């Protein structure tokens, strides 16, 4: 079993804590947070010791790998510290909100090569993975269009918006990574537009809560993403791949998939899963499983730091396109 240090004890740490515990090849050794009381609360729930001293965690021989689930502005420093200590790293997305700081982390990982995996968990959702395999197997011939619907149930708190880096870096980046992975290529140009229609506070911050994005691929395929910060019927998550021989789709998830007909309504179904914690719960486990397997098998994890840089470059280009109203070439 790999002894794991979990960095952070906020929302995402509470996603990963149970998944580490559930995995037969992982064992939670310690939870780190400069706020010791917060680390102690998480350790009481998921096991291991609590620490507010990063040097102690770095020097702990029982720590074989680290899962970084702390705020984004801490990721680069933690990646550098654990790469230099020679420990494998799983890091929540994004690696950072600027290409300059991402390049700093990449330089450190080149100087101190360790297994590194970025947490684009939606690749590991069983439905998304099945669609990707079908596309790569040629089931629909050449891909002409890829489409993603990703709509959240309600806008986040304004303090979250202020620290998020903007809607494209916070949310669309998931769709970008997923669709480029499915297509097997990255866009030569992007065009994005957005509005603020749900929460005027978001607009006052210079951000948007409703976006449409088009990515043009080198093959000529077109990729469309539509995102919304609010959705009256739950967490809307669908994919469609359209090709020369057919089409593939993923559907939304519900707790109850039974379809009902009666005297008052027809084709009635339960509401959608509420948010990403429910809809993509299994994907976080499968992502950690890939991380553990890669370490045990001595191979690079399937989602790399370069994938993270590419997705960030595209997301930044989308944000620039939205602000300037022009098509933009990503800065790869």
Q: Which domain holds residue 139?
A: 123-324
Task: Please tell me the distance from the alpha carbon of residue 84 to that of residue 262, in angstroms, as a whole number.
Answer: 64
With CA atoms as reference, report the closest residue to 169 among 97, 105, 102, 99: 97
Instruction: Say if residue 269 is in the same domain as residue 131.
Output: yes
Structure tokens that stand for 222 in this block: 């077109």
Query: 122-137 as b/e, with b when 16 or more CB fall inside 10 Å?
Result: bbbbebbbebbebbee
Query: In this predicted structure, what is the pLDDT of residue 278?
Result: 74
Last residue of a domain, one of 46, 79, 114: 114
Instruction: Say if residue 107 is in the same domain as residue 148.
Output: no
Average pLDDT value over all residues in the chain: 94
Instruction: Say if residue 277 is in the same domain as residue 314.
Output: yes
Instruction: Say if residue 136 is in the same domain as residue 272.
Output: yes
Instruction: Say if residue 102 is in the same domain as residue 210.
Output: no
Q: In this structure, is residue 330 part of a structural domain? A: no
* Orientation angle between helical segments 281-297 and 11-22, nearest 10 degrees: 60
- How many domains are there within the chain? 2
Instruction: Say if residue 258 is in the same domain as residue 127.
Output: yes
pLDDT digits (tens, 9 = 90+) for 75-125: 999 999 999 999 999 999 999 999 999 999 999 999 999 999 999 999 999
- Mean per-residue pLDDT, 161-178: 94
Q: Which of 127-141, 155-169, 221-235, 251-265 has the lowest mean pLDDT?
A: 251-265
Instruction: Say if residue 95 is in the same domain as residue 131.
Output: no
Query: In this predicted structure, what is the pLDDT of residue 254?
Result: 78
With CA atoms as reference, report the closest residue to 73 among 91, 49, 57: 91
Query: In this predicted structure, what is the pLDDT of residue 133?
Result: 96
CATH number at 66 reads 3.40.50.720
Instruction: Say if residue 7 is in the same domain as residue 42.
Output: yes
pTM for the whole structure: 0.91
pLDDT digits (tens, 9 = 90+) for 61-86: 999 999 999 999 999 999 999 999 99
pLDDT digits (tens, 9 = 90+) for 269-299: 777 777 776 778 899 999 999 999 999 999 9
Last residue of a domain, one of 114, 132, 161: 114
Instruction: Say if residue 67 is in the same domain as residue 141.
Output: no
| Burial of 206 from C-beta contacts in 10 A (0-12 / 13-18 / 19+) | exposed
Higher pLDDT among residues 320 and 261, named by residue: 320
Distances (CA, A) of 22 to 284, 285, 302: 11, 8, 21
Last residue of a domain, one of 114, 140, 173: 114
Percent of the chain having pLDDT more than 90?
A: 87
With CA atoms as reference, report the closest residue to 288 among 298, 275, 302: 302
Phi and psi at residue 327, to the nearest 5°: -70, 145
Q: In this structure, is residue 94 part of a structural domain? A: yes
């Amino acid at each position: 079993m790999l002894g794991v240090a979990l960095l952070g004890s906020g929302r995402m740490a509470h996603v990963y804590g149970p998944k580490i515990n559930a995995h037969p090849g992982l064992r939670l050794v310690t939870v780190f947070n400069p706020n010791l009381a917060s680390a102690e609360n998480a350790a009481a729930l998921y096991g291991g010791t609590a620490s507010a001293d990063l040097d102690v965690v770095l020097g702990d021989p029982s720590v074989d790998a680290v899962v970084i689930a702390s705020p984004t502005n801490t990721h680069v420093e933690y990646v550098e510290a654990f790469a230099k200590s020679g420990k494998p790293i799983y890091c929540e997305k994004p690696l950072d909100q600027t290409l300059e700081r991402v390049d700093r982390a990449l330089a450190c990982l080149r100087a101190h090569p360790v297994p590194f995996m970025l947490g684009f968990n939606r690749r590991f959702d069983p439905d998304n993975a099945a669609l990707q395999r079908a596309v790569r197997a040629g089931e629909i011939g050449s891909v002409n269009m890829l489409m993603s619907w990703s709509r959240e149930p309600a806008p986040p708190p304004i303090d979250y918006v202020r620290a998020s880096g903007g809607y494209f870096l916070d949310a669309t980046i998931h769709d970008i990574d997923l669709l480029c992975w499915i297509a097997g290529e990255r866009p030569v140009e992007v065009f994005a537009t957005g509005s603020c229609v749900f929460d005027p506070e978001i607009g006052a911050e210079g951000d948007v809560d409703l976006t449409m994005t088009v990515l043009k691929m080198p093959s000529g395929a077109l990729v469309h993403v539509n995102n919304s910060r609010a959705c009256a019927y739950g967490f809307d998550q669908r994919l469609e791949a359209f090709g020369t021989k057919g089409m593939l789709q993923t559907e939304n998830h519900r707790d109850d998939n039974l379809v009902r007909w009666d005297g008052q309504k027809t084709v009635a179904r339960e509401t959608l899963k509420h948010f990403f914690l429910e809809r993509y719960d299994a994907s976080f486990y499968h992502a950690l499983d890939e991380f553990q397997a890669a370490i045990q098998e001595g191979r690079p994890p399937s989602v790399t730091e370069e994938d993270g840089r590419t997705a960030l470059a595209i997301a930044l280009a989308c944000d620039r396109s939205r602000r300037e109203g022009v098509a933009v070439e990503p800065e790869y």
